[in-house]
């Protein structure tokens, strides 16, 4: 089980949930499951290929997935995934 963490600025995506537990094998799988939980989540967050838009950063255990294996980054039990607006990183 991984823990997905969101800042309040992402509240409109997550029905104001700040943490969600998710059983997923990869970031891609997790995004799919979040979309089932919060309809429209992926459409707002990702491009047609399912990759996060430039306006969002996705982290696994603090590391931007852009420096890991992108959406194919594996998730293990206890991993923390965070999704934040990229504007915050400026």
Partner 1 sequence: MMIINKPDSHFIFVFPTDHINGRYNYINYQGKALTNKEYLEHWGKFVSFGSPKEIDAIARALDTYVEQKVIPCIKYDRSPVTDLGLTECVLCVYCDDRQKNDVWAILKEHGVYIKAWVYERETVEKWSPGGMLLEKWIASHNLSEFQAEQVREGARRKFREMFKYPELTFRGIEQ
Structural contact between residues 12 and 89, judged by C-beta atoms closer than 8 angstroms: no
Residues contacting 66, CB < 8 A, separation 6+: 57
From residue 27 to residue 66, the character string flagging contacts with partner 1 as x (rule: CB under 8 A) and all else as - is: ---------------------------xx-x-x-xxxx--
Interacting residue with partner 1 among 25, 37, 72, 88 (CB under 8 A): 88
- Residue 21 interacting with partner 1 (CB under 8 A): no
Decide whether 32 or 64 has the Cβ nearer to partner 1: 64
Structure tokens at 27: 């970031």
Determine the 3-state secondary structure of 7 from DSSP: coil
- Residue 86 interacting with partner 1 (CB under 8 A): yes
- Residue 17 interacting with partner 1 (CB under 8 A): no
CA 42 – CA 48 distance, rounded (Å): 9
């Amino acid at each position: 089980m991984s823990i997905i963490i969101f800042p309040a600025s992402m509240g409109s995506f997550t029905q104001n949930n700040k943490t969600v537990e998710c059983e997923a094998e990869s970031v891609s799988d997790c995004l799919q499951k979040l979309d089932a939980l919060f309809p429209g989540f992926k459409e707002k967050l990702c491009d047609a290929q399912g990759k996060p838009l430039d306006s969002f950063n996705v982290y696994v255990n603090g590391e931007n997935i852009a420096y890991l294996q992108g959406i194919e980054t594996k998730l293990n039990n206890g991993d923390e995934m965070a999704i934040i607006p990229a504007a915050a990183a400026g």
